[in-house]
């Protein structure tokens, strides 16, 4: 699991535009039974267990119960308990930990429900301290969905699957066949990118080049706590490195190390007018829409955003999940803001209010200060005296990229 002590973006009343959808409100909290005793034939190796943070924090909706649950804590507890039963010791993988281990179990879980049955499937691979795969497979178990309201149901199902994994004869045979003087490693020194699954992005968003050296500006919540950040250009994905981040501003810069011929200039002075026409470019609804950029038109509707927010303005160009981090560009081609959020509909609809195109961007003035503070170069220029919305849109399209976070 990634380090949970890191600061995280504030949860405002509007939803961040990452491609993650959870439903319901019920929790799967339950008392944790005492950990099982050590197995008589417990392996004399220490084990670190990697559970992606997205799975630790996820919620699942069970239609038969009409409620959603958060099974991540139960999965974590069950993994550690099963690990301590079959191995000398087991802990969750923490990127800042200096605790040594001999083996890493990378897990990727999926909850599903069909008719009255809920199923937990865990794909896993066991790696040695050098990052080489020792064994990989998958296990699953199911439960009557109606029993999920019972106190320890999520823990019990998770423990059942984890025990199936760690007691597998093939897995134990591979461990036994390894060198008796197994090497030690620490999470802090381990290349944990080898633990990541690239089958499906945990979240997706948008970014854009701000200079010719291949550096991309985006919203911090798109790339925060991502072991692997992929930049997709013309259908080709390239891994990028996070070089600067501000959770307060919700801004981040990633470096592709590939020079770009296109970038979006910040308007000198970054002033704008109410009612000024703007274009938003993004990659919304990854996995639903085709992977091509989406262009929407609107105007700056307010110099302020939500009450109490700072540095954001409101614009009306429609956005969708996945648009976060995209540029809000003037009709003269300069960057005016970075898309960071939209007004949450759910709570307002319950109050009889149906908001329309209430979206928020961080003012480019703050982006400029952020870039300067982190010594990151960017292109800037005065407003073009001749408005050319079509030309501005084409220039923005050339500089925008799709981002994917893998855990």
At 325 the pLDDT is: 96
Query: How many Cα atoms occupy the beta-carbon half-sphere of 289 within 13 Å?
Result: 16
At 302 the pLDDT is: 82
Among 194-198, 259-263, 289-293, 375-379, which is the least confidently predicted range? 289-293
Using the predicted structure, report yes or no on whether residue 45 has a pLDDT greater than 60: yes
Domain 203-406: CATH architecture, name and number where available: Beta Barrel (2.40)
Strands annotated E in 210-358: 215-218, 228-233, 236-246, 251-255, 266-267, 277-282, 294-302, 312-315, 327-330, 335-342
Using the predicted structure, report yes or no on whether residue 12 has a pLDDT greater than 70: no
Assign 272 a pLDDT band (cuts: 50, 70, 90): confident
Q: What DSSP string runs through 327-384?
A: EEEETTS-EEEEEEEE--HHHHHHTT----S-EEEEEHHHHHHHHHHTT----EEPPP
Pairing of strands 203-209, 100-101: unpaired
| DSSP bridge partners of 209 | 216
Mean pLDDT of the chain: 85
Query: Going by CATH, does the domain composed of 43-195 fall within 1.10.10?
Result: no
Domain(s) labelled CATH 3.30.160 in the chain stretch across: 43-195
Assign 30 a pLDDT band (cuts: 50, 70, 90): low
Assign 33 a pLDDT band (cuts: 50, 70, 90): low
Q: Of 9, 8, 185, 188, whose CA–CA distance to 94 is shortest?
A: 188
pLDDT tens digits, 376-395: 999 998 887 777 889 889 99
At 83 the pLDDT is: 97
Higher-confidence residue: 100 or 3?
100
Domain(s) labelled CATH 2.40.10.120 in the chain stretch across: 203-406
Section 108-121 average pLDDT: 92
Distance from the first to the final alpha carbon of the chain: 9
The packing angle between helices 153-166 and 72-86, to 10°, is: 40
pLDDT tens digits, 149-201: 777 899 999 999 999 999 999 999 988 876 555 678 998 889 989 999 998 89
pLDDT tens digits, 208-242: 999 999 999 999 999 998 999 999 887 788 999 99
At 398 the pLDDT is: 94
Section 273-290 average pLDDT: 78
**Percent of the chain scored above 70 by pLDDT?**
83
45 CB burial (10 A radius; 0-12, 13-18, 19+): buried
DSSP single-letter state for residue 63? T
């Amino acid at each position: 699991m990634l380090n949970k002590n890191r600061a995280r973006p504030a949860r405002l009343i509007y939803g961040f535009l990452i491609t993650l959808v959870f439903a319901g409100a019920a929790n799967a909290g339950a008392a944790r039974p005492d950990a099982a005793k050590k197995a008589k034939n417990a392996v004399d190796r220490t084990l670190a267990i990697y559970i992606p943070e997205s799975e630790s924090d996820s919620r699942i909706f069970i239609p038969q119960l009409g409620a959603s649950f958060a099974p991540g804590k139960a999965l974590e507890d069950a993994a550690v308990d099963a690990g301590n039963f079959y191995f000398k010791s087991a802990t969750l993988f923490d990127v800042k930990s200096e605790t040594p281990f001999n083996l890493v179990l990378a897990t990727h879980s999926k909850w599903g429900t069909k008719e009255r049955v809920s199923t937990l499937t865990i794909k896993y691979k066991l790696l040695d301290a050098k990052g080489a795969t020792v064994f990989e497979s998958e296990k699953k178990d199911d439960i009557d969905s109606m029993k999920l309201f019972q106190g320890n149901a999520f823990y019990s199902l998770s423990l059942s699957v984890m025990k199936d994994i760690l007691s597998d004869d093939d897995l134990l045979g591979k461990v036994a066949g390894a060198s008796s003087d197994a090497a030690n490693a620490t999470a802090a020194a381990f290349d944990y990118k080898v633990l990541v699954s690239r089958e499906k992005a945990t979240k997706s968003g948008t970014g854009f080049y701000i200079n010719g050296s291949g550096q991309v500006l985006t919203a911090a919540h798109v790339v925060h706590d991502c072991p692997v950040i992929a930049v997709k250009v013309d259908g080709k994905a390239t891994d990028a490195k996070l070089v600067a981040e501000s959770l307060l501003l919700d801004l981040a810069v990633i470096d592709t190390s590939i020079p770009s011929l296109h970038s979006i200039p910040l308007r000198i002075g970054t002033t704008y007018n109410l009612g000024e026409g703007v274009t938003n470019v993004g990659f919304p609804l990854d996995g639903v829409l085709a992977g091509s950029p989406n262009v929407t038109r609107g105007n700056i509707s307010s110099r302020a955003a939500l009450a109490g927010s700072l540095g954001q303005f409101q614009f009306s160009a429609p956005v969708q999940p996945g648009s976060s981090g995209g540029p809000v560009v003037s009709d003269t081609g300069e960057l005016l803001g970075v898309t960071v959020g939209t007004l949450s509909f759910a709570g307002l609809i319950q109050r009889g209010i149906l908001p329309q195109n209430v979206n928020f961007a961080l003012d480019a003035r703050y982006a400029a200060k952020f870039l300067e503070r982190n010594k990151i170069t960017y292109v800037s220029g005065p407003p073009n005296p001749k408005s050319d919305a079509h030309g501005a849109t084409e220039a923005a399209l050339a500089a925008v990229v799709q981002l994917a976070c893998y855990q």
